[in-house]
Structure 1
Amino acid sequence: MYQTDQYEGMIAETVTITGANGDEIYAYLARPLGPGPFPGMVLAHHMPGWDEWYREATRKFAHHGYATISPDLYHRVGHGTPEDVAAKARSLGGVPDDQAVGDLAGAMHFLRGQPYSSGKKKKASSAPAPADATPIWPRAGRRASTPSSICGAAAW
């Protein structure tokens, strides 16, 4: 619980991680300041792309004590405004499932390898229905139960 006299701080930055097929991709990482350990959260972006909302959400989870990472699942599509990149991704039929799974697994692996990681993990997606995120997490190598919807985010 937040106390008005507590020290607050976080680190938030764009990092490069190893995604599917060993490709280097960008991810946005935020974590509380301090040595930890902190539980980790992987945040999967929605079809409109890796946008400002995901940076805000990543920092919000860090504010609440999670080391949080949001990989750019459209990294291979190109760069530009989130709207332009998302339009290009849609025109290409989206991202192949195996590629998205590999990128999300790479983000989990990145967090697990950090010295401030507690080893406890959460997964989240802003899918309209929690079932949309269900197939991805087990395939990414993590044991998963049925997710529950919390304010439009699937988390378990």
Structure 2
Amino acid sequence: MKPSQIPLIQQVAGVHGRSKIGSREVVGFGVNGEANYVDRIVSPFPAIRFKEDTPDIQALREKEKGDWKKLTIEDKKALYRASFCQTFSEMRAPTGRWKSTIGCAIGFMTLGWWMYVWAKVYVYPPVPQSFSEENRQAQLQRMIDLRIDQVDGLSSKWDYENNRWKK
């Protein structure tokens, strides 16, 4: 092998994760062709086995090649646990994560509310006097008296003879 090719091979091995799987057996394509282990209900076919082979597991694998009726339930469970971390029912089991999610959401909403109150008290100037109900009514009356938007606006909805809103 040429010295110029060595870095390229190391890069490829690092990208595909082959250098990080230890002595676990590569058994399939996996998700997106990466040699990693992921428990997923959607894609229940990890690329590598969950555990590294021990002498006990290797003996069970040799026994597995024969008649499966000779395997005990404990042997089958040990083989399954060597290849997979969780069963489907364990993957689907509720984790209680929703509690922390709701708690964090409520915490952030409370923090935002307190920031609004702080800004309302210490940052924003007082509301102008023109925002009072009395001043707003006076401004509305002035707009009607000046006949602003007489064709299709506010003044078109006012009955000037009876001094009330048109029905």
TM norm. shorter chain > 0.5 = no
The structure number with the bigger radius of gyration is: 2
TM-score scaled by structure 2?
A: 0.24
Which has a greater percent of helix?
Answer: 2
Question: Of Structure 1 and Structure 2, which has the larger fraction of its residues in strand?
Answer: 1
TM-score by length of 1: 0.25
Higher relative contact order, chain-length normalized (CA < 8 Å, sep 6+): 1
